[in-house]
Copies of this chain bind each other. A is one copy, B any other.
């Protein structure tokens, strides 16, 4: 049976990411992985989850195991809405999704026609690009953090923005850039999708800026906020959410019903139990301290080991930084050599919709601090022939 002759036309748009090829090697113990964007396994809340599940099973019993509403369990929807209560959000403005990846797919499904033009940071989150390519989207590249008019954006159908600690650069929009994007979206009525997985993982003393949705001040706007517990609680639950106007939430809900009926009620109640008992407030200082230390170790090791022709971003939060090789050096070549030398890094090209072939993404969140210097020594060997 040759399935290829049977695949739908859109299946041609679904291609295996080369990044995934690199990640396959991450499990080998001799390999030091700066590849996959995973939370530190030692910071995942195993014991807190054990007691949260135990308590939730006592409180909610069979509800945790039963079918639920497509929109999500009311308890969790209300908890998320409460974060936006100043702008009048209620549970009706919240859709619980199977991780924020599903939110990105759903938004593509409901808003993106074949040939639709999406303004994105360049680079930006790889899996958003792949999800929307499957719906026939085209991308208008902005700068590493900036977006909108400054980048010649001409009437896009959607603006996608990771305002804080972008994946893969770790860079954020500054106040002026935030204002430019938001003003443009509100003035033109262009849907602005704010994806904020890393906003709470900030490693300096500056306060967290309000979300686009909060600054817009009401839900009758084209602003769509997407969040997740994957980076501050645990990705294994696959719980994320969309906050937006009721009309859009209703349409996304209908679309979601065909995708998976609803997100696991079991993980929703477990996450609700963790969130409602204040887990995040306790965990965040610990996460921030641990990830900040890893970032510092990585930055120091790069400073010591990298030749002058290589530069990199200095993130104030998140999981990643982007390494820029000399213009004529391919990130994919260096990533292959690095893998042979025993360190995994990810070529940056696929995060870009223009240029970026000479970049590498380095993730400092999941590797143990003690292995970072050895990893960067190996990376030095990988770049030594082509970079000076």
- Number of A interface residues, CB 8 Å? 82
Contact A99-B260, Cβ < 8 Å, known A6-B191, A135-B8, A251-B14: yes
Q: In the assembled complex, how far is the CB of residue A312 from the closest CB belonging to chain B, in whole angstroms?
A: 24
> Chain B: which residue is nearest A11 at the CB level?
B110
CB < 8 Å neighbour of A67 from B8, B36, B260: B36
Residues of B within 8 A of A278 (CB): none
Interface centre among A4, A102, A116 (most CB of B within 10 A): A102
Cβ-defined contact, B54 with A66, below 8 A:
no
* A82 at the B interface (CB under 8 A): no
* A45 at the B interface (CB under 8 A): yes
Q: In the assembled complex, how far is the CB of residue A342 from the closest CB belonging to chain B, in whole angstroms?
A: 22
CA distance A233 to B97 in the complex (A): 23
**A98-124 with Cβ < 8 A to chain B:** 98-99, 101-102, 105, 109-113, 116
Residues of B within 8 A of A109 (CB): 8, 10-11, 134
* A150 at the B interface (CB under 8 A): no
Q: In the assembled complex, how far is the CB of residue A251 from the closest CB belonging to chain B, in whole angstroms?
A: 6
Residues of B within 8 A of A205 (CB): none
CB < 8 Å neighbour of A62 from B41, B135, B260: B41
Cβ-defined contact, A262 with B238, below 8 A:
yes
Contact A50-B54, Cβ < 8 Å, known A14-B251, A251-B14: yes
* A335 at the B interface (CB under 8 A): no
CB < 8 Å neighbour of A44 from B62, B130, B255: B62
Residues of B within 8 A of A266 (CB): 49, 234, 236-237, 266-267, 270
Residues of B within 8 A of A176 (CB): none
**A167-202 with Cβ < 8 A to chain B:** 189, 191
> Chain B: which residue is nearest A54 at the CB level?
B50
CA distance A269 to B260 in the complex (A): 19
Cβ-defined contact, A66 with B41, below 8 A:
yes
Residues of B within 8 A of A66 (CB): 38-39, 41, 44, 234-236
Contact A258-B3, Cβ < 8 Å, known A65-B44, A66-B44, A113-B8: no
Residues of B within 8 A of A236 (CB): 63-68, 264-266
Residues of B within 8 A of A36 (CB): 67
Cβ-defined contact, B258 with A101, below 8 A:
yes
Residues of B within 8 A of A45 (CB): 65
Cβ-defined contact, B265 with A1, below 8 A:
no
* A385 at the B interface (CB under 8 A): no
What are 27 inter-chain pairs, A to B, with CB distance below 8 A? A1-B189, A3-B245, A3-B248, A6-B157, A8-B112, A8-B135, A14-B258, A15-B254, A39-B66, A46-B64, A54-B54, A63-B236, A67-B236, A98-B238, A99-B261, A102-B259, A127-B258, A131-B259, A134-B255, A235-B261, A236-B265, A238-B260, A238-B261, A238-B262, A260-B260, A264-B267, A266-B266
